Chains A and B, each alone.
Chain A
Amino acid sequence: MVKVQRSTVIDAPVAEVWAILRDFNGHDRWHPAVARSRVDGGLRSEQVGAVRNFSLTGGEHLREQLLTLSDKERHLRYAIVESEIPLHNYVAEVKLKPVTDGDRTFWSWSSRFETPPGQEDELAELVAKDVYEAGFEAIRQRLGRGERASATARPAQRQTPVASSAPAASGGALPGIAMTIARHGGPEEFRRTEISAAPPGPGQVRLRQSAVGVNFIDVYCRSGYFDLLTPPGPPGMEAAGTVVDVGPGVTHLRPGQRAAYACPPVGAYASVRTLDAALVIPLPEGIDLETAAAGLLKGISAEFLLHRVHKLQAGETALIYAPAGGVGRILCQWAKHLGARVIGATSSEEKARIARAAGAQHVILPGPKSLEEQVMELTEGRGADVIYDAVGRDSFAHSLGALAPCGHLISFGQASGDIGSWDIGSLAERSVTLSRPNYGHYTDTPEKIAAITERLFDALARRIVTVEIDQRYPLTEAAAAHRALEARETTGSTILIPDSPQGETA
């Protein structure tokens, strides 16, 4: 039996390191030896028993099974179940511990296994160096605050919250990159631009961004359909990262803290950014940076649509359009949890499957019968109590026809085009309540954002709602991300990663 044990200290808070390592299927995004990875059999990567099926950059193919995952102990165990490298009975353990002195992370990675006779030393060396130590180094590059491990003592640095003032290391502007457009137009207008984030002034925060969310509104900003972006500049409404420093008067954020935002002004397509701290929310442990970047805007929208625009009640029937889309999926999950009867309206059997998995009891597809006829059949002729409609022009009339008496139609988008002018007299046919909520009005004060995100983070932590990140692009490939989104080729959420190998990693 061969035993290998390696351990190190990463100069980042334990929650940040764990957020990366706990994703059993995420190693192809950070470990240099892993080329591609997926989870077999439709299981989630946090499901104990899940098997990750991956190939190494050298071409070897492996399958490993998750045996233990503990968010309490911050530890996981896994075993090799199939390998083209002769490691037999291989069981490994990853364990993190907080180093309170300096707010750092102790990381131990160990295993025991058997090998063919004579190959013990060679394979132990491979596991220790190419897997464990190379993994340590990759995470250190990605998260570490720039300090290489050394055998010299660091001055004790206690976890006292820093209320204001920048640390000495960040006196000047912080260099970075952004994807900007010089004029409104197609994806080809994106240019990689060297930028710098100024030191934060009063009430401001400076972030090093780890993940940037891509939303359809970014396409509208780029094309000029919405006038939120006056070129030259980068689009982007949401991102998550680590606080570099804060300006005077900022008390809810401190350097090193993980944080995110999802609101105008646009400009999130960047590796570093200085912005109004009141817009930025500290992230609780358990919400990783990519989830925040991918899900904050959609999750906030779902929260106010279900809890504020209309307080959805158990027993109500909710019709949700685009139930397989970003906001739609979260609406289905949450509405079902609230006890509503959820009907999804979508265009294909594949999307219907996603909608059912998210909680839709019924899914309506285009067919010989109209949408309103199908809704009436499913509701014994009564109609839907509330309809969440972001389709716009093509759906509005059908939605009015599918409502129950005194029903509530919430029109929160126009993916198919402007709805145009309507005679409000016709709303009396069913005593319709009509809402046209604007994201900005529900998120324009720190108090409103705090109340919404508190409920959202709780729902994420309890897995009432989940965020599926199905597309990841380096930030510099923002144009490709937009092309895929506009071609309707994407599922789930899309994010941009500023810290790709060729990106800045100061």
Chain B
Amino acid sequence: MPDVYVSSVIPAPTDRVWARIRDFNALPDWHPGIAESRIESGMPADQVGCVRNFRLKDGGQIREKLLALSDYDLSCSYAILESPMGVENYIATLKLTPITDGNRTLAEWSAEFDCPPERAEELVSHIGRNVFQGGFDALKQSLAGG
């Protein structure tokens, strides 16, 4: 089972970063690859089990289900229900940890999934760079200096 792990240091206090990413429906507000998002069936965005249905800027449509949300551990896990990427059993976790030195934040984003073996390398690279690191780069820019 391929897995992806990307981590970064966000130069902002952890509560500010968490406020940005805890909202399961807020991807378009901070992730550069996402055009628009809605939560299906009118559920609250922090209700475990809710499904976000969002559109990528390149046109792809993705549905993801919130599996776990913890304001104590500052982590959020979700599974892909439908996507154009061609992955199965995809489960990802986004987790924050405070860095006391400089009042900054360690952000970790990891995922495991199944796919045809010949596509594993390409998918790991795409998810690691464009989805995870791309999101972190945007967070670093928008939250820096605060």
Give Cα A190–Cα B7 distance, bound, in whole angstroms. 47
Indicate whether A7 sits within 8 Å of B97 (C-beta atoms), given known contacts A101-B136, A106-B106, A151-B103. Answer: yes
Identify the closest chain B residue to A128 (Cβ): B100
Q: Which of A137-185 contact B (CB under 8 A)?
A: 149-154, 156, 158
**Chain A residues whose CB sits within 8 angstroms of the CB of B104 once the complex forms:** 9, 151
Binds B, one of A92-100, A246-254, A419-427, A450-458: A92-100
Which has the most chain A C-beta neighbours within 10 Å: B5, B97, B101, B106? B101
User: Does A24 touch B at the CB level, under 8 Å?
Assistant: no
**Chain B residues whose CB sits within 8 angstroms of the CB of A150 once the complex forms:** 102
- Chain A: minimal CB distance from B88 (Å): 25
User: Does A222 touch B at the CB level, under 8 Å?
Assistant: no
Q: Which listed residue (B8, B128, B137, B145) contacts A99, Cβ 8 A?
A: B8
Give Cα A133–Cα B99 distance, bound, in whole angstroms. 12
Indicate whether A100 sits within 8 Å of B6 (C-beta atoms), given known contacts A7-B106, A153-B140. Answer: yes
Give Cα A14–Cα B70 distance, bound, in whole angstroms. 27
User: Does B39 touch A at the CB level, under 8 Å?
Assistant: no
Interface SS of chain A: helix, strand, loop or mixed? mixed
Residue contact B7 to A149, C-beta cutoff 8 Å = no
Residue contact B11 to A153, C-beta cutoff 8 Å = yes
User: Does B9 touch A at the CB level, under 8 Å?
Assistant: yes
User: Does B98 touch A at the CB level, under 8 Å?
Assistant: yes
Q: How many A residues touch the partner, as a band?
A: 20 to 34
Residue contact B102 to A156, C-beta cutoff 8 Å = no
User: Does B41 touch A at the CB level, under 8 Å?
Assistant: no
Total residues of chain B contacting the partner, CB 8 A:
25
User: Does A6 touch B at the CB level, under 8 Å?
Assistant: yes
User: Does A104 touch B at the CB level, under 8 Å?
Assistant: yes
Give Cα A189–Cα B43 distance, bound, in whole angstroms. 81
Give Cα A101–Cα B9 distance, bound, in whole angstroms. 8
Identify the closest chain A residue to B98 (Cβ): A7
Give Cα A98–Cα B144 distance, bound, in whole angstroms. 21
Query: When A and B form their complex, what is the total count of cross-chain residue pairs whose Cβ atoms lie within 8 Å?
Result: 74
User: Does B133 touch A at the CB level, under 8 Å?
Assistant: yes
User: Does A395 touch B at the CB level, under 8 Å?
Assistant: no
Residue contact B102 to A151, C-beta cutoff 8 Å = yes
Residue contact A106 to B97, C-beta cutoff 8 Å = yes
**Chain B residues whose CB sits within 8 angstroms of the CB of A98 once the complex forms:** 5, 7
**Chain A residues whose CB sits within 8 angstroms of the CB of B133 once the complex forms:** 100-101, 156, 158
Indicate whether A104 sits within 8 Å of B101 (C-beta atoms), given known contacts A152-B144, A153-B140. Answer: no
- Chain B: minimal CB distance from A139 (Å): 12
Identify the closest chain A residue to B12 (Cβ): A151
Q: Which of B85-139 contact A (CB under 8 A)?
A: 97-104, 106, 108, 128-129, 133, 136-137
Indicate whether A106 sits within 8 Å of B99 (C-beta atoms), given known contacts A97-B7, A100-B5, A152-B11. Answer: yes
Residue contact B101 to A108, C-beta cutoff 8 Å = no
**Chain B residues whose CB sits within 8 angstroms of the CB of A153 once the complex forms:** 11, 140-141, 144
**Chain B residues whose CB sits within 8 angstroms of the CB of A388 once the complex forms:** none
Give Cα A9–Cα B136 distance, bound, in whole angstroms. 17
Indicate whether A7 sits within 8 Å of B101 (C-beta atoms), given known contacts A97-B108, A153-B141. Answer: yes
Q: Which of A73-127 contact B (CB under 8 A)?
A: 97-102, 104, 106, 108
User: Does A54 touch B at the CB level, under 8 Å?
Assistant: no
- Chain B: minimal CB distance from A11 (Å): 11
Residue contact A151 to B100, C-beta cutoff 8 Å = no
Give Cα A150–Cα B145 distance, bound, in whole angstroms. 11
Give Cα A246–Cα B42 distance, bound, in whole angstroms. 58
User: Does A334 touch B at the CB level, under 8 Å?
Assistant: no
> When each residue 201-240 of chain A gets 1 if its CB lies under 8 Å from chain B and 0 otherwise, what string results?
0000000000000000000000000000000000000000
Residue contact B9 to A136, C-beta cutoff 8 Å = no
Residue contact B106 to A99, C-beta cutoff 8 Å = yes
Residue contact B103 to A99, C-beta cutoff 8 Å = no
**Chain A residues whose CB sits within 8 angstroms of the CB of B144 once the complex forms:** 152-153
Residue contact A9 to B99, C-beta cutoff 8 Å = yes
- Chain A: minimal CB distance from B33 (Å): 16
Residue contact B97 to A149, C-beta cutoff 8 Å = no
Identify the closest chain B residue to A4 (Cβ): B100
Residue contact A99 to B100, C-beta cutoff 8 Å = no
User: Does A5 touch B at the CB level, under 8 Å?
Assistant: yes
Residue contact B101 to A149, C-beta cutoff 8 Å = yes
Residue contact A99 to B9, C-beta cutoff 8 Å = yes
Identify the closest chain B residue to A156 (Cβ): B137
Q: Which of A1-15 contact B (CB under 8 A)?
A: 5-9
Q: Which listed residue (B97, B136, B140) contacts A108, Cβ 8 A?
A: B97
Give Cα A341–Cα B136 distance, bound, in whole angstroms. 58
Indicate whether A7 sits within 8 Å of B99 (C-beta atoms), given known contacts A153-B141, A156-B133. Answer: yes
**Chain A residues whose CB sits within 8 angstroms of the CB of B137 once the complex forms:** 156
**Chain A residues whose CB sits within 8 angstroms of the CB of B8 once the complex forms:** 99-102, 156
Give Cα A245–Cα B94 distance, bound, in whole angstroms. 35
Identify the closest chain A residue to B146 (Cβ): A151
**Chain A residues whose CB sits within 8 angstroms of the CB of B136 once the complex forms:** 101, 156
Residue contact A6 to B100, C-beta cutoff 8 Å = yes
**Chain B residues whose CB sits within 8 angstroms of the CB of A106 once the complex forms:** 7, 9, 97, 99, 106
Give Cα A6–Cα B100 distance, bound, in whole angstroms. 6
Give Cα A30–Cα B10 distance, bound, in whole angstroms. 28
Residue contact A104 to B100, C-beta cutoff 8 Å = no
Identify the closest chain A residue to B101 (Cβ): A8
Which has the most chain A C-beta neighbours within 10 Å: B9, B98, B145? B9
Indicate whether A97 sits within 8 Å of B11 (C-beta atoms), given known contacts A8-B100, A9-B101. Answer: no
Indicate whether A101 sits within 8 Å of B6 (C-beta atoms), given known contacts A152-B11, A152-B144, A153-B141. Answer: yes
**Chain A residues whose CB sits within 8 angstroms of the CB of B129 once the complex forms:** 158
**Chain A residues whose CB sits within 8 angstroms of the CB of B103 once the complex forms:** 151
- Chain B: minimal CB distance from A155 (Å): 10
**Chain A residues whose CB sits within 8 angstroms of the CB of B7 once the complex forms:** 97-101, 106
A–B Cβ pairs within 8 angstroms, 8 of them: A5-B100, A7-B98, A98-B5, A100-B7, A100-B133, A101-B6, A106-B97, A133-B101
Identify the A interface with B (CB < 8 A): 5-9, 97-102, 104, 106, 108, 133, 136, 149-154, 156, 158
